[in-house]
Structure 1
Amino acid sequence: MADLPRGFRVRLADDAHRCDDGRTLFGGSSGRLVHLRPAALRRIDDAGVLAVEDPTSARVARMLLDRGLAHPWWNGSRPATCGDVTVVVPVLDRPDALDRLLGGLPGTTVVVVDDGSTDPASIVEVCRRHAARYVRHPERRGPAAARNTGLRTATSPVVAFVDSDVVLDVRSLAALRRHLEDPGVALVAPRVLGLDDGRGVLARYEAARSSLDLGASPARVHPHGRVSYVPSAVLLARRDALGAGFDESLEVAEDVDLVWRVARDHDVRYDPSVVVRHEHRTTTRAWLSRKAFYGTGAALLAARHGEAVSPAVLAPWSAVAVAALLAQQRWSIPVAVAASAVAEVTLARRLRGSDHPHRAAVAVLGVALHATLTQTTALVVRHHWPLTAALLPFSRRARRVALAAAVVDGVLDHRRVRPDLDVARYTALRRAEDLAYGAGLWAGCLRARSPRALLPVLRHRPARTPIPSERSQS
C-alpha cells in the first residue's frame, strides 16, 4: 500500500474502545484488536488524532485505517476541490430530476448517458441548459451499461457516478474527492438520505431507515465489515482502479459487485459527514418491490464472491452460546456461559501484553456477543423468515424466539435511529421490509439453485495485531 502523504490526519473511530491507558484498541468497523507500542501511542493526541509526520506515524496511521480503528480527519484543515472529476449520470426519462441534479453542479464536467428514454429531446434540452455532454443508448441496456459508457467517455482521472434522482452539490463532491489524497483509496461514497419532505408514513420511515442510508459512523468498506457495501447512488472513484467497470450482466447488485472487486486491491471508504439527498420510493407497492428486488441480488453475488455475501459471520464459541440460548432448555444458560468462559480464557492468554488481559478479553467478547445476537435476530426475522414461519405452527419455542426477535429488534432500532414515527408503526414497517427482502432473497436462491447466500459462516478472528515500534522502522 502506498504511503500516506505528510500532513494527512486520522482520528480514532468513535467505536474503537481503548483500555490499558490507551495502549489497547479494539472494535471499530472490522472488530479487530491492536496493541499500540510506546512510539505509536505518543503520536496520538488527547483527541485521538494522529498526524502523518514521519515514517512511523505514516505506518501507524495506515494500520489503524486498515483495521477500521481510525478514519481520515480534516476538520476544515484542507481546502477541497473537484476540478479533476467527471460526473457520470445514467438517466432513463426523469428530465425534471436530472435538471435538479445538474443545477447543483455548476462548472463541473458532466456526462449524461441516456439509456433509451422515451422522450430524449427533453433530456437533450436539460443537458444543453447545463452544458453537460449527452450520450445516448438507442435501446435500454441497464444502469450498469450506462455507467460504463460514461466511464469510457470520461478522460479525467476521477469519475463520480451519480444517479439522476439524487440532489448533490459541488461542495459535497469536493469533500468526497479529498479522500483520494490517500493513494490507497480508490472508491468513496457519502451518506444517502431521503428528500426532506416529511410526507407520509413511508417517507418518514425511509428518512430514518432507508436501505441506502448506511448510518452516521464512517467506515472502511469491505465484506462482513460494519459497512459491507456502498450503493451506486453516488460513488466517486479513481478511473484506473475500476477496470472494465460494472458487470453489465447484472440488473441488481451491480454496485455491490463493483465495490467488492475494487476492495480486493484498494481501500473503499464511507463518509457520512458528506450527505446527499435521494428521491426514495414512498408508495407501498413500489417500496416493497424494491426491497424484494434488492434481495434477489444476494444469490448473484454469492456466485461471484462466495462467503462475502453470507448473512452472518459467527465465531464458533458465540455460535454455540446463541444456539444454546435459542434451544430454551434447562442446560441453555450453563452451556452459553461455559462457551463464553472458554473463549474468555483463551483470548486472555493471547492478550498477555495487556495490563488487565481478562478485563480486555471480557470487553472484546462482549462486543462480539452483541454482534452475534444482532446477526441472529436478522436471520430469524429477515434472511431466514420462511424457515421461522414454517416452524411457528409446531414449536412454542420458535414462536417465542420469533416474537422476541421481531419486537425487541424493532424497539431497540427505533430507539437508535429516533424516527419521526411511533414505535408500533416503525416496527411494523421494519418487519414488512424484512419480509420483502427475505422473499426476494429466497426467490433469487431458488432461481440460482444455490443456497450459498443463505448460509452463515464460522470464522475465527485474529486476537491482536501489534503495531511496530519506532525502532523497527529505522
Structure 2
Amino acid sequence: MTLPAGFVVELDRHTRVLDGGRALLGGHPTRLLRLTPRARRLLTGRTVTVRDAAGALLADRLLDTGMAHPVADALPPRPDPRYTVVVPVRDRPRQLDRLLATVGSGPPVIVVDDASRHPEAVAAVAARHGARLLALPVNTGPAGARNAGLRRVTTPYVVFVDSDVVLAPDTVPTLLAHFADPALAMAVPRITGLPGTAPTWIARYENARSSLDLGAHPAAVRPGTPVSWASTACTVARVDALKDGFDERMRVGEDVDLCWRLIEDGWRVRYEPRARAAHEHRARLGDWLLRKAVYGTGAHPLAERHPEFIAPAVFAPWGTAFVTVLLLQRRWSLPAAAAVAGVTALGIARKLDGTGHPHLLALRLTANGVAGALSQTSALLTRHWWPLTAVGCTVSRRLRRATLAAALADVALEYRHDRARLDPVRYGVARRLDDLAYGAGVWCSALKGRSLAALKPRVTR
C-alpha cells in the first residue's frame, strides 16, 4: 500500500534535523536516519509532501519510525468518506440525547441498547433523533454491543462513540482525513473533560489527568511508546480492517486488545489531538475509584493475549543498572550511577559518529533516558507495585526514602505539567488515590489469573 500523491507529513517535535538535513534523529525507539541526496531534497523545512514514489517511500518510513506525523488539514480526500456511527448504551438516556444532538442527521446512526433496565427511555431518544435501534436481550458489555452494531454497518468506515461523549463538529472529519493513508486502521481523538461538569475536586483532577487523555501531541499508537494504546470511547475505524471486531470475552481492556491486534496485523493506529471529544468524567469519589480499579483489572487478560506488549515498565539494560545502584543508596551509588550514564553516553556518541557534535547529542539522549528510567521506577513503586512497596517500607528505611522521593517528585512534576484547577495538596492526594486504585485492580487481576506476567518489567535494547 502506497501513500497517495498530496499526502503531507510533518516531523515530530522531538525529531532533530542534523548536519543541514543529511540526517534525522528521533522516533521510538530513538534512531539515526541518514538521508540520501535525493531524500534531502524531499524535505522542505520540517515537512515532506508525497509527489512521487521516492516521496511516498520517505514519508512512509518516517511514519513507521514515529519521526513524523500526517498533517490532517493538508491530506488528499478519500474516495468514499461514508461512515456509520455506532453508539453502545445501557440506560443513560440523558447522555444519549446529548450525544445524538452533536452527531446530527447526516450519517446513519445505530444505537445498540445493551439490555437497559429502562429500555423505553433509550428507544424514545433514538426515535427522536432518527437513529436505528438495536436492542440486545442480554447484557454483553461494551465489546459485544459494539460488535452487534458493527455487523450492521455497510459503509467503509465506522465511528464508535460512547454515550457519555460529546462530539465537536470537526472531530469525525479531522479523523477521517487520516484515512488517506491506506495502511491506517483506526484513528482516535483527544478525550477531554466535558466543559461545565467539574463540580468536585475529583472531577477537576480527572479533567486534568484523565486516563483517557493521551496528551497534546500527535502520535503513532504502538506498544512501548509514549502512546501505547488508544481508547475506543470515540474512534473512527476502517471496517474491513476490524474483521470480527472486539473480543467479547473482555469486559475491560477490549479497546487496548483491538488496538494491539490491528498493529500485530500490520495496520497503523493514529492519535490525533487536534480532533477532540468531550467525556463526562466520574465526579464522585467512590465511582471514580471503582473505575480506576476496573481499568487495572484489564492487565491480566491483556498479558494473556499480548505477552510481548504488556509490561508496567520497559528498561534498557543500562537504565536497569542506573536505577538499581541509586535504589541501593550506598555512598558509592551516585558515582556508580554517573559512571553508568557516562559509559552509555560514550556508546551512543560512537553510534552518532559522523554527525555534528555527537557527544553533545549523546549527552542529551542519555539525559532523556535517565529521566525515563527514573519516571518508570517511580511508577513501579507508587502505582504498579505499591502493595510490595508498602510491605517493604515497614522494614527498609532506604525503601521508605525512595518511595517518599518518588511520590513527591511525581506530584510536583505532574502538577506543573497538567495545570490542574486544583490546589497542590488535593491534586497530590488524588494522584496517589489514582495509583492505589489502579494498582489494586492490576494485582486483583493477576492474583485471580494466578500469573504475575502483567507486573513484570521488560528489559530490552
TM-score (norm 1): 0.93
- What amino acid is the match of 1:372? A
Q: CA 1:246/1:359 → structure 2, altered by over 3 Å: closer, same or farther? A: same
SS in 2 for 1:11: strand
2:305 alignment counterpart: 304
Q: Write the mapping of 1:427-442 to structure 2, written as runs, cut at 5 A.
A: 427-442=428-443
- What amino acid is the match of 2:199? R
* Structure 1 residue 202, shift from structure 2 partner: 1.1
Q: CA 1:372/1:36 → structure 2, altered by over 3 Å: closer, same or farther? A: farther
SS in 2 for 1:3: coil
* Structure 1 residue 118, shift from structure 2 partner: 1.7
The structure with higher relative contact order (CA 8 Å, sep 6+) is 1
2:356 alignment counterpart: 355
- What amino acid is the match of 2:100? L
Q: Is the 8 A contact 1:81 1:174 kept in 2?
A: no
Does 2:43 match 1:44?
A: yes
Alpha-carbon distance in structure 1 between the residues aligned to 2:199 and 2:78: 35
SS in 1 for 2:446: helix
Alpha-carbon distance in structure 1 between the residues aligned to 2:52 and 2:74: 22
* Structure 1 residue 97, shift from structure 2 partner: 0.8
- What amino acid is the match of 1:92? R
SS in 2 for 1:306: coil
Matched length = 458
Q: Is the 8 A contact 1:27 1:364 kept in 2?
A: no
Q: Is the 8 A contact 2:32 2:352 kept in 1?
A: no
Q: Is the 8 A contact 2:165 2:277 kept in 1?
A: yes
Q: CA 1:431/1:27 → structure 2, altered by over 3 Å: closer, same or farther? A: farther
SS in 2 for 1:160: strand
* Structure 1 residue 78, shift from structure 2 partner: 5.9
SS in 1 for 2:312: coil
Alpha-carbon distance in structure 2 between the residues aligned to 1:169 and 1:401: 44
Does 2:283 match 1:285?
A: no
Q: Write the mapping of 1:141-290 to structure 2, written as runs, cut at 5 A.
A: 141-197=140-196, 198-264=198-264, 265-290=266-291
1:468 alignment counterpart: none
Q: CA 1:237/1:75 → structure 2, altered by over 3 Å: closer, same or farther? A: closer
Q: 2:64 aligns with which of 59, 63, 66?
A: 66
- What amino acid is the match of 2:91? D
1:20 alignment counterpart: 19
Alpha-carbon distance in structure 2 between the residues aligned to 1:345 and 1:351: 10
Q: CA 1:369/1:24 → structure 2, altered by over 3 Å: closer, same or farther? A: farther
Q: Is the 8 A contact 1:81 1:178 kept in 2?
A: no
Q: Is the 8 A contact 1:292 1:439 kept in 2?
A: yes
SS in 2 for 1:104: helix
Q: What 5-or-longer segments of structure 1 have no aligned partner?
A: 461-474
Structural RMSD (CA)? 1.7
Alpha-carbon distance in structure 1 between the residues aligned to 2:460 and 2:82: 42
* Structure 1 residue 105, shift from structure 2 partner: 1.4
Alpha-carbon distance in structure 1 between the residues aligned to 2:356 and 2:58: 21
SS in 1 for 2:245: coil
Q: CA 1:429/1:332 → structure 2, altered by over 3 Å: closer, same or farther? A: same
Q: Is the 8 A contact 1:83 1:108 kept in 2?
A: no
TM-score (norm 2): 0.96
* Structure 1 residue 96, shift from structure 2 partner: 1.3
Q: Write the mapping of 1:401-412 to structure 2, written as runs, cut at 5 A.
A: 401-412=402-413
SS in 2 for 1:183: coil
Q: CA 1:231/1:108 → structure 2, altered by over 3 Å: closer, same or farther? A: same
Q: Is the 8 A contact 1:26 1:364 kept in 2?
A: no
Alpha-carbon distance in structure 1 between the residues aligned to 2:326 and 2:276: 40
CA deviation profile, 1:349-390 (whole Å, cap 9, x unmatched): 222232333222222222222111111111111011111111
Q: Is the 8 A contact 1:82 1:177 kept in 2?
A: no
SS in 2 for 1:136: strand
2:418 alignment counterpart: 417
* Structure 1 residue 307, shift from structure 2 partner: 3.0
1:324 alignment counterpart: 325
SS in 1 for 2:191: strand
Q: CA 1:110/1:170 → structure 2, altered by over 3 Å: closer, same or farther? A: farther
Does 2:22 match 1:4?
A: no
SS in 1 for 2:282: coil
* Structure 1 residue 25, shift from structure 2 partner: 3.1
Does 2:369 match 1:368?
A: yes
Q: What 5-or-longer segments of structure 2 have no aligned partner?
A: none
SS in 1 for 2:170: helix
Q: Is the 8 A contact 1:101 1:167 kept in 2?
A: yes
CA deviation profile, 1:246-267 (whole Å, cap 9, x unmatched): 0000111011000000111100
Q: CA 1:215/1:423 → structure 2, altered by over 3 Å: closer, same or farther? A: same
